[in-house]
Each structure stands twice: as C-alpha cells, then as structure tokens.
Structure 1
Amino acid sequence: MQVDQVFKAESGRAIATVARLVGDLTLAEDAVQEAFAEAIRSWPGTGMPANPGAWITTVARNRALDRLRRESLRGNKELDATRLFPPTEEEVWPVRDDQLRLIFTCAHPALAPQAQVALTLRLVCGLTVAEIARAFLQPEPTVSQRLTRAKSKIRTAAIPFRLPPEHLLPERVPQVLACIYLVFTEGYSATSGSSAIRGELCEEAIRLGRLLCELMPDEPEAWALLALMLLQDSRRGERIAADGTARPLEEQDRTRWDRGRIEEGMRSLAAARHSTGQYFPQAVIAAAHAGSPSWDATEWTVIVAAYERLLELTGSPVVAVNRAVAVGFRDGPERGLEALDAVPDDPRLARLRVPARADLLRRLGRSAEAEDAYLAALESAGNETTERFLRRRLEEVRATRADGH
C-alpha cells in the first residue's frame, strides 16, 4: 500500500480523532497533513508500519498538541490549556466512532446544507475538492470557498465535536444521509481516473451506513440508504470486465453477485418499510435488479413506478433520465427515446443523458444517429473504464453500418 492509498483510507479517521482530542478542525486537518508529510519522508527508510492509520493518528495528535503548547506561551493561555487537556469523562453513547461524531458535527444546523455535506466529504471521507465539485456539479473554487467558510464557522461559533442530544438527531439526519450516499456514489461510479470503481469509498460508506443504523435503529431512511448501498454494491465485482471495460447490467453474471450483500440489503429494505424519503424507492429499484434471476425477468413495471415516485420526491432531472431509460426497457426503445427527449436540456446532464440516448438509438437500429451520439458521449466520459465501454459500443454500431444494417 502506498502513502496516497493510506491517505485515502485513513485521513478521515485521523482528522476525526484529532479534532475530538484538540477541539479544532483546522488544527486537526493541518496536523494530519504534517503527519502524512512525515510518512513520505520516513517510511521509505523505515518501512510502512503494521498499522499505518494508527501511526498517522498518533503523529498528528502529537503535532497538534505541540502546536497548542507553543501557542499557549503566546497568550490566551487559559483557552489553550483547556485544549491541551481535553475532558476525560466518556460520553454515554451506543456507538463510539470518531468519524460518525464528526459527521454529526459537520451537519450542525448552523452550517448551510451544502456546506455540511461538502465539509464531511472532505474531512471525514477524504474526497478531494475536485471530487466534491463534480458531485455537486459546481466549480472547484465555489466548493473550496464553501469549505473554508464552513471551517471558519465551526471555529468562531464554537460548534462542539460531539454527537448531539437524542432529541436533536432528526434534524441532522438528512444531511448525514446525503453525505454518506455521496461518498458511496463517488466510489461506485468514480467521476474521474483510470477506474470506474473506488472500492475503499464503497466500503467506507457502507461502514458508516451500518453505524448510523446501529446508532438510530428506528430511523427507516437510514435503513433504506443502507439497503440501497448494499444492493448496488453486491454487483461491484461484475461491473468491470477483464479487459477493464464497464460491463452493463444485462451482461453481468448474476451467479457472481455477492449474495451476502444482497441478503443483508433485503433485510435492511424490510427494516425501511415505513420510509417516506428518497432512498426507499432507489432501494426498491436496486432490489428489483438483485431479485431478478435474469435480465429478461427484470420487473421493469416495478422499476418505472419507483422512478416515478422518486421523481415526485426530488424533481431531479437525473432521475428523469434514468426513468426514461427504464421506460425504454418496459415499453420499447422508441417510448424510452420519447421520454428522454421530454427531459429539459441541461449541459450538466451530458455525462448521463448522451450515453442513454446513444444506447436507445442503438437498440432502435438507428446506427448513424447512434454513432454520432456515442462520439458525443466520449467527449464527456468521466473515467477511462467508461470511455472504453463507449468506444466498444461505437465500434459495434460502426460495424452494423458497414454491414448495411
């Protein structure tokens, strides 16, 4: 494992733990950065420690405390002294997890909703500013400024690094769920790079989802989100072919899907049966695929109905595009193309909408139009795996045209 891999896996945990110990988010982040800089300098000679995460956290904690000691010599000594010796009385709470504590801190109502999610993605989960910007469909400078303002707000408002009282938890849940799911989607469908899947992010999101369900067992939407992630992740091993090309659902070997994930996902979906939020219909869609023995047996009526419910809840154009694709499988590609054309045009949807149009045209046998659509889709391909798949489809439609079909 390289240092950059350790950073992706461990930086969030380290920041969360150091922030709890010293009560300063910026100081914790700086200290963890310094710890990784030290790792880059020392590990090539000494070798990577057996537990690199613990090493990073210990070094970062010591760096943070050293800085506090130095600052305590320059004024505001009483405040710095209290940060040097944080309270030792343990909180009575069913889940002891620093990252979960930091997620709820970042979801404090004093912060704007988008700042809550962006801050948690950055600090708890280790996503870069660029990755967060793509998830939000916003420019990187906008996200960077939002992160800076959020950290300043936490510092100036003295927002505590602890889990809120039980009666305040419900108002924080939507932001926490949104954060966890954005982490999962970045892992499940990476927005850039050589791989379409970043398994460590999928695993981290599922871990946090399980912890949230343990923390709030009576929150149906938390169970719905966990079900959704588990059911989608059950297909992870089949989503990429041996040559590195994305493998569509209809070509996957269902016997190789993770049955343990599916069974846990179905149990979680049952626990979410009273959910009225957006994750439940998404989980129903994932369950319809997971429960179908073959592509031909897929219950598209159930899937379209779930997309329609999701569209009612969110009004999202992304959902409208996915619904159009499902309509194409239920009623035929001509109807699907009509539904897709009815979705208002938005350049931010190009990465989803253009490949969907290309596929519907291919299924209709309109090869010349499909070729143009695949060429356009390649211009906005987010990662190399997706690009290889689109090129494969492009060659298929070109071959069909050459054959005169």
Structure 2
Amino acid sequence: MTARVEDLLRKVAPQVLGVVVRRFGDFAAAEDAVQEALLAAALHWPVDGVPDNPRGWLVQAAVRRMTDQFRSDQARRRREDVAAALEPPPADVADRDDTLVLLFLCCHPALTSASAIALTLRAVAGLTTAEIANAFLVPEATMAQRISRAKQRVKASGVPFAMPVGDERAPRLRSVLHVLYLLFNEGYTSSIGHELHRGELSTEAIRLTRAVHAVLPDDGEVAGLLALMLLTDARRPARTAPDGSLISLEDQDRTLWDHERIVEGVALVTSALSKGLVGEYQLQAAIAAVHDDAAHASDTDWPEILGLYGLLERMTGNPMVALNRAVAVAMVHGPHLGLKLLDAVADRLEGHYRLDAVRAHLHEMAGDVASAITHYRAAAARTASTPERNYLVMRAARLGEG
C-alpha cells in the first residue's frame, strides 16, 4: 500500500465510521464493517486507482458489509426485510465529518483510560489492532479483547451518537482531553520497551487535538493542551543521540528544536491565558514555553517556572506536579530544600521510579555522590523503559567513576 493511500485511508476512516454508526446505531458492528472496507481499499486502490469519491466508496463498502451481516445473522431474521430494503448510499455522500463526535464517543467516561486510548487509536486514528498492540507491547489477541470490551461498554452505555450538550459536555470534554494527553505522553516518552519515542502516537494525539481545537477554538484548555503538545514535541529531534540513547533537557542541542512549533505553541498559550480562565493544561504549556524560550539551559527562568508549578500544584494536587516543583525549588533555592519537599510527597509516589530519579538528581546537585548513585540505581531498576533505564545506569556509573 502506498503512503498516499495509507494517509488518505487514515484521514477518512473516522468520517466513514461516523456515517455508518449514525445510520445503523451499532458502534461495534459498524467499526468491524468499516475495518473490512478499509482492508478492501488497501488491497484494491493501489492496483485500480483511488476512486473519485473515496469516502463514498468506503461508505458503500461498509454499508454492504453491514447489510450482509444483518441478512446472515439468524438471531436477527426479523431485520431481513429492513436490510433488504436498504439501498447503497449515492456516491456523493453528504459532506459531514463526524470525527469529533466519534472521538467523544471513544473517550466516554465509562471507559478506563487504557481502553479509551485503544479504542480511539482504532476507531479515530485508523490504526490496526496489530499496530496498537505493538505500540503497547501486548499480544494482538489481548488488545483485540480490550478493544472489543470497550466497544461493548460504549454500546451498553446507551449514549447517543451525537456531541454531548448541556451538563454532559464539560465532563465529556475533560475525558477527551485527558485521553489525548495520555496518548501524547505515551508517544513522547514511552513507558515500556526499547524506544524512547512512539512517534505515531504523539503525532496522532496532536492531529486529534488540532481537530478538537478547530471545532472549539475559544476553549482555553483545548488550546492549552495543543500548545503543550507542540511546545513539548518541538524538543523531540534533540532528545536522543544517533544510537537512540536519551539526552537530558539541559544537554540538548537546542538548535535542533522545531522552532515553528515553538512559535505556534507560544501563540496558542499566550492567547488562551489572556482570556482569563486558566486551567491546568494552560499552566503546563506556559511552563513548557519558559523552557523553550531559553537559548541555553543556563538561561532558563527557574523562578517563573517555580511560580507556575506552585499555581499548578494548588490547582491539581497532583503528586507528579509536586515532584516537578521540587526540582524547580532546588534550582532556585538549592537542592536541600528540594529534597525536603520530596519527603513531603514520598508516600504518594512510593515505588515510582521518577521519585528515585529526582532524588538522585538533587543529591547529585548537593554533592552527595553515594546517595545519588543509590537512587539512580533504584530508579533504573523500577522503570520499564530501556532508554530511561540505560540513562539512569549511565549517570550512576559516571558518578562512580568520579
């Protein structure tokens, strides 16, 4: 399959699924039918050529599959007359893009974050079950079961295929943004495996967040999340050495950063913050912008970052935010005060490798080499990411050599 066909199928897949779900009302069956239509297109289009109306072609193929399914299902014989009466839609399908509706459906609060991410990647991003399974290093059968359960749970919820309105909209939007945030983070720094980045995941997260922003341009948190992704992803070209090893933020060649993304991200977060109602994604984006504004690590405005982390911690109460704030405190007021703050949140992060990693870093700053080595090794033993483990082991080894 050519790259052009693959890109086209990925772009129109959620639109086609939206049409079929809206027509038949059965998300699980419609998703299966659309996947078969996409497979048929992947086989035929590179040989026969892309049709003039690719979306209409796919809708017709999926509807035929749904019709055949209804006809062959003995438990649904009563629907045969209705199915037989269904005519394939005209080639000129109504120009209605249901991608955002589909995204809200896949990110239903009834689903766990893991299930919502998997379902979003399958139904909205157009990844195959095998690709998703590979991204999360689980067997394809396991991922297929996860996606199947997610589809059934969405079906059982009885939620209509429509954008949420009224009191439902805010919590559903929060769920969507949370899923996209987790999806991006897993792509930018994979929690497992041999690769630091899973570019297909972070790229899809940015694409889908752009789609949400296009529909909700005045929502500050949507703009903040998109800005956060762009400002963070801008550093990706400098995060790894040619051999794939991790390069810390302070040691990165900042001339390699994507400055177009930085400019776009700064403009987004600046506009969002000017509207008055500040949310956690806007604050995270503002912190990322301060880092990206520094031409050299030594130019970083740590007092401003510390102030922003203080606001973010009060807003969220998230222990990971407290962990990052401890680093900022150490950079402004010294490592000993940062270590005291770590002690205050240690019970909430017990066993997490990042607690040991930050402790190691602050002990290294304080000149306590033995404690730094101990915590670097403890962090390395607890992470499932090979690049991060190698980085932590290397830091401990270098201190030991000194």
After TM superposition, is the score higher than 0.5? yes
> Once the 2 structures are TM-superposed, how far is the Cα of residue 261 of structure 1 from its aligned partner?
0.5
Structure 2 residue aligned with 1:211: 211
Bigger drift between 232-241 and 207-216 goes to 207-216
What's the CA shift for 1:289?
Answer: 0.4
Deviations 1:227-254 (A, max 9, x none): 1111111111011122321111111122
CA contact (8 A) 1:238 1:247 kept: yes
| Counterpart position of 2:67 | 68
Q: Secondary structure at the match of 2:338?
A: helix
Alignment of 1:129-208 (within 5 A): 150-156=150-156, 158-164=158-164, 169-208=169-208
Structure 2 Cα separation of the partners of residues 313 and 130 of structure 1: 36
1:370 to 357, 369, 372: 372
Which residue number in structure 2 is paired with residue 301 of structure 1? 303
Q: How does 1:72-91 map to 2 (within 5 A)?
A: 72-73=71-72, 74=74, 75=77, 76-77=79-80, 80=83, 90=94
Bigger Cα displacement from structure 2, 230-239 vs 370-379: 370-379
Aligned residue in 2 for 1:321: 323
Q: Go from structure 1 to structure 2 and tell me whether the alpha carbon gap of 1:66 and 1:286 turns closer, same or farther (over 3 Å shift).
A: same
* 8 A Cα contact 1:184 1:229, kept in partner: yes
1:193 and 1:384 in contact (8 A); partners too: yes
- Output the CA distance in 2 between the equivalents of 1:335 and 1:57: 63
State the alpha-carbon separation in 2 of the partners of residues 357 and 97 from structure 1: 49
Query: Does the C-alpha gap of structure 1 residues 381 and 285 become closer, same or farther in structure 2, counting only changes over 3 Å?
Result: same
Which secondary structure state, in structure 2, belongs to the residue aligned with residue 322 of structure 1? helix
Instruction: Say which of 340, 359, 362 aligns to 2:342.
Output: 340
- 1:179-328 matches, within 5 Å, as 179-273=179-273, 274-328=276-330
Flag the 1:178–1:157 CA change in 2: closer, same or farther, 3 A: closer
Distance 2:37 2:380 in 1: 40
Contact 2:184–2:202 (Cα < 8 Å) also in 1 = yes
TM-score, with structure 2 as normaliser: 0.79
Q: Distance in 2 between matches of 1:30 and 1:122?
A: 10
Deviation of 1:120 after TM superposition, in Å, equals: 3.1
Distance 1:290 1:195, change over 3 A: same
SS across alignment from 1:296 = helix
Q: 1:153 to 1:181 in 2, by over 3 A?
A: same
Letter of the 2:398 counterpart: E
1:68 is displaced (CA, Å) by 3.1
- Give the secondary-structure state (helix, strand or coil) at the position aligned to 1:313: helix
1:18 equivalent in alignment to 2:46: no
CA contact 1:224–1:275 (8 Å) conserved in 2: no
Cα deviation, residue 285, structure 1: 0.5
Q: Distance in 1 between matches of 2:343 and 2:302?
A: 20
Q: Which amino acid aligns with 1:325?
A: V
Q: 1:266 to 1:50 in 2, by over 3 A?
A: farther
Residue 172 of structure 1: how far off its partner (Å): 2.8
What amino acid maps onto 1:177 in structure 2?
L
Instruction: Determine the C-alpha separation between the residues in 2 that align with 1:153 and 1:282.
Output: 32
Question: Is the CA contact (8 Å cut-off) linking 2:16 and 2:58 kept in structure 1?
Answer: no
Report how far residue 194 of structure 1 moved.
1.9
- Map of 1:361 onto structure 2: 363
Work out whether residues 318 and 349 of structure 1, in 8 Å CA contact, stay in contact via their aligned partners in 2: no
Residue 99 of structure 1: how far off its partner (Å): 3.4
Unaligned stretches of 5+ residues in structure 1 = 135-141, 401-405
Distance 1:252 1:48 in 2: 45
Are residues 362 and 212 of structure 1, via their aligned partners in 2, closer, same or farther at CA, if it must alter by over 3 Å? same
Q: Deviations over 1:83-109 (max 9, x none)?
A: 875798747xxxx64432311223457
Structure 2 distance, partners of 1:393, 1:58, is 56
Tell me the CA shift for residue 116 of structure 1.
Answer: 5.5
Identical-residue share of aligned pairs (%): 35
For each residue in 1:130-170, what CA deviation from the matched residue of structure 2 results, as whole angstroms up to 9, or x when unmatched? Answer: 97899xxxxxxx99988655422433455343445699644
Paired residues of 1:102 and 1:124 also in contact (CA < 8 A): yes
Paired AA for residue 385 in structure 1: P
Q: Deviations over 1:203-241 (max 9, x none)?
A: 222222222221111111111111111111111101112
**What CA RMSD, in Å, does the superposition of the two structures yield over aligned residues?**
4.1
Q: How far 1:371 moved relative to its partner?
A: 1.6
Q: 1:186 to 1:79 in 2, by over 3 A?
A: farther
TM-score (norm 1): 0.78
Three-state SS of the structure 1 residue aligned to 2:299 is coil
Is the contact between residue 60 and residue 88 of structure 2 (CA under 8 Å) also seen in structure 1? no
Answer whether contact 2:30 2:62 (CA < 8 A) is retained: no
Displacement of 1:128 after TM fit?
A: 4.2
Deviates more, 1:19-28 or 1:225-234: 19-28
Deviations 1:177-204 (A, max 9, x none): 1122111111111112221112222222
Letter in 2 for 1:71: F
Q: 1:395 — aligned with what?
A: 397
Conservation of the 8 A alpha-carbon contact between 1:116 and 1:175: no
Instruction: Report the residue type matching 1:203 in the other structure.
Output: T
Q: Structure 1: how far apart are the matches of 2:362 and 2:119?
A: 38
